[in-house]
Structure 1
């Protein structure tokens, strides 16, 4: 018989009162009466594990935590399930099998498996009644990994516990990790003009953050601090690079994630792409490609036909022209998050400057067809481009006269 929510709530209150008075076994006994409800509310299993651990019974704690991990995963709380798996392994490292079980039903389908080689037909077997597959709600990033990829990523993930007020990272720190809020809440903080600290955003359970610095290699632009006691999952760029050496497909999954999380936001803020709806941006994102240039490589040349525009994913580029004396004259240095090349691409005019990679650089490439479609749907963008052309032509003239100019192309 299904448990009444009112009975469940009363049992929780009674169990927590017993726990607060140090009566751990009595608290566990009370939770046992509503344990079946844990399939709907995995926090019951989780709390039973916490109490058993407090009582010194690690074996029972692990059993309860396994129930929590399984239930969280089935309900689609994959980040929470991963955090519980990490808790289990911290108690007993030999229990790594829990991560494999999580991967079995939380990972996406991945790539299609190759067809079996031809050979003798297998002997007929009696039909087997299949168990219906568990449909787990999609979780950003993790649901795109197949089972093997999911398992290797989860193995690399580290769990970090933060106390209320504790700082996860500060402005200026290296941006080489992606973070996921498994429990609690963290605040993003910046500095106001009067030097006081201002909360810019609050990130709750299930949030993913830190991806801009992770993909661009830039330093953190703000502080992140725990608003209340929290559990944060972290995976570093070095660990992801190690995984991609075994699973090449992970690179393309991460690029898709980058487009959804970073490029889409930059496009929404760009004067050129601001008129596009979210659905139009999504359609455009699916057609973008990634290009890599080594330090010193020429990306675009003055006078050539502009067939592409770029968004800098990581690295930096130098924009320059030849001045009237035939010497190179720097016009601008562009870095992560900057666009260039859109003027020549949209107007069919030759490029008015040369662009060279100042470091190993990754660029998101937009082709002529993508921008042409945008101009057809949103003719008002032509006005934005015309203003940019006037500004940049003026910049080119100044640069050739040995004065500072604005970004060209």
Structure 2
């Protein structure tokens, strides 16, 4: 397989497709860091890119720090699952994908994707690095990550059809390869297995981020989080979808990843009281889980939403058996009940409606 990649990289180099050839060399080194032919070709291509008239032959090696970053896939070394996307794709599929990707170059500070905008493509970083910027609930914008060579981003919007989750802009001069939805559809017609690879990679990265970053799951061991991740379901719901209905049975615990939901309470006389707006990272369904109740309020998607869903059986296996998680869920449910009760009594009743 690596010999095929090496021959194609050399062919692209001879054709002047330097960015693609460099990208493929980095794929080879990701799979086999000691692959000397790829290292020599990459050094030569780096020299030709700096000086187009440079003669063929070895060039000054790249700093070891950059080689290490290319080997781990992310500045800071964020684990093997993030570095393994390309290694999961078969030879023919990967070569088709590399031929499909379109090279683009961005200057420092230039936006590659914008938060909230429709997303119809994903990107692989060939050279350079990018910063990921998100808008917090307070309205402030904060850099939440830096991503380096070999990393992919933008796959959620491409695969789930949701708006961009964050702004990604070049931190330095950055070369990327772009895969659009139209190109992906053509690729999947020839190689349907690529979709499973992309979906699996996207799911693992998403769950890794959520389970590591959510305070509720921090008491779990890595092994427990890995087992929990296998049972989470990722689902998308359009605006207007009823996710929980007051008085109806609740069958799962939900974590809102993208979008907003409105929570309302229906009085006995039928009028609705708005309780709160749920945003990204909020959880719901925990009251029913801990107290065995039907839904105490209605939760409706205000915008298109992406959610993690964990059915009751999985909750019992993974969450209720852990004292730390169980205590956190109980505290969360009690605080929400008290908050809802306060909002209920503070809300003005319609004229002529008695208070009990």
Where does the alignment leave 5 or more consecutive residues of structure 1 unmatched? Answer: 1-35, 65-75, 80-136, 405-409
Shift, 1:379, TM fit: 0.7
Residue 171 (structure 2) aligns with: 226
User: For residue 44 of structure 1, what is the aligned residue in structure 2?
Assistant: 43
Compare CA radii of gyration and give the structure with the larger one. Answer: 1
**Structure 2 counterpart of 1:382, from 316, 326, 337:** 326
Write the distance in 2 (CA, Å) between the matches of 1:316 and 1:245. 35
CA 1:249–1:293 in 2, change beyond 3 Å: closer, same or farther?
farther
Alignment of 1:341 with 2:340, yes or no, is no
Distance 1:144 1:316, change over 3 A: farther
Contact 1:319 1:333 in 2 (8 A): yes
Task: List alignment gaps of at least 5 residues for structure 2.
Answer: 1-34, 59-69, 74-80, 349-356
Instruction: Give the direction of change, closer, same or farther, for the CA distance of 1:388–1:200 in structure 2 (3 Å limit).
Output: closer
- The answer as to whether partners of 2:112 and 2:170 remain within 8 angstroms in 1 is yes
The change in CA–CA distance for 1:317 and 1:248 in structure 2 (over 3 A counts) is: farther
Determine the structure 2 residue equivalent to 1:128. Answer: none
> Is 1:37–1:44's contact at 8 Å kept on the other side of the alignment?
no
Alpha-carbon shift at residue 222 of structure 1 (Å): 4.6
| Residues 308 and 366, structure 1, Cα contact 8 Å, conserved in 2 | yes
Tell me by how many angstroms 1:243 deviates: 5.1
360-369 or 144-153: bigger deviation = 144-153
- Tell me how far 1:322 sits from its aligned partner: 0.1
Q: Compute the displacement of 1:223 (Å).
A: 5.3
Aligned to 2:296: 352
Which residues in structure 2 correspond to 1:156-171 (within 5 Å)? 156-163=100-107, 165-169=108-112
Partner of 1:330, secondary structure, is strand
Alignment: residue pair count:
292
Deviation at 1:233, TM superposition (A): 2.2
Q: 1:371 aligns with which of 303, 315, 320?
A: 315
Structure 2: distance between partners of 1:359 and 1:265: 22
| Bigger relative contact order (CA 8 A; separation at least 6) | 2
In 1, the alpha carbon distance for the partners of 2:193 and 2:131 equals 33
- Counterpart in 2 of 1:98? none
CA distance in 1, matches of 2:325, 2:291: 12
Kept in 1: contact 2:132–2:168 (CA 8 A)? yes
Distance 1:151 1:41 in 2: 21
